[in-house]
Each structure stands twice: as structure tokens, then as C-alpha cells.
Amino acid sequence: MAKASITKEDVIEFVSNMSVLELSELVKELEEKFGVSAAAPVAMMAAGPAEGAAGAPAEEQTEFDVIITACGDRKIQVIKEVRSITGLGLKDAKALVDEVPKPVKEGIAEDEADKIKSQLEDAGAQVEIK
């Protein structure tokens, strides 16, 4: 039986014409056949160039957390704002304000986070966005 001569370029060309789904299935099959996981090498390769590249753009953050760091001297106003923002009951909103630093909202858009921060600061709280 004659061995076909397939070059690396042939394989690259073949893979570049595959759909994402087909490529995903191929990776799974290769992992099963060779008993390896492609996740670790890919993660290390992705981290490597980012460290060495000067001024490489970092991934833009799209989700933000609004965290109360202090309630100030207008605690009742802060509790009212927390209730209106979160929809929590009085007891839960008071508990959140009493246990600062605590997140008020998590995984929200930047403009919404800025709006909530402004509302809470107007009520007298100290707030940070992460």
C-alpha cells in the first residue's frame, strides 16, 4: 500500500476550509485518539504572546460589578436606593448595606454600572466599579 504524501500545507489548507463546528468536532476526535487536551496548550500559547507584546491591546471588559464600599452617614437613603436598584425587600437591602463591601449588581454593562454608581453616590454611599 503506497503512503500518500500529504504536507503540512495541505493539512492547513484543509483545516482553513472547515466550519467552526467541523473544526470543533475534529479537535474532540484528536483529543480522544491521542488522549490529550488542547485546552492547556492553547491557553499557554494565548498567554505567552500577550506578555511579550509591548502595548498589545488587552481584552476589553464588557461586564462590570457595582460594589458598595461604605454607606456613609445617610444609611437610610442608601438602603432606599439599593431597594430601587435591586428590587430587594427592606430586610435584604439593609443586610446588603450593613455588610459592606458588597456587590449591588454584577455582570452589567458599563453605562448601567455608571448610572447605578451615580445613584448610590447621590444617596451618600461610596461605590466602586470592578
Do 26 and 72 belong together in one domain?
A: no
| Total structural domains within the chain | 2
Do 23 and 76 belong together in one domain?
A: no
Do 48 and 80 belong together in one domain?
A: no
> 33-50 pLDDT, tens per residue?
877 766 554 444 445 544
The residue range of the domain holding 25 is: 8-52
Residue 113 grid cell: 454600572
Do 71 and 108 belong together in one domain?
A: yes
pTM beyond cutoff 0.75 = no
> 107-127 pLDDT, tens per residue?
888 888 899 889 889 988 888
Do 75 and 45 belong together in one domain?
A: no
Do 75 and 122 belong together in one domain?
A: yes
The more confidently predicted of residues 18 and 89 is 89
pLDDT of residue 51: 47
Query: Does residue 79 lie in a domain region?
Result: yes
Interatomic CA distance for residues 127 and 65, integer angstroms: 10
Residue 67 grid cell: 460594589
Do 106 and 80 belong together in one domain?
A: yes
Interatomic CA distance for residues 1 and 20, integer angstroms: 33
The sign of the CA dihedral 85, 87, 91, 92 is negative
Query: Does residue 3 lie in a domain region?
Result: no
Do 48 and 84 belong together in one domain?
A: no
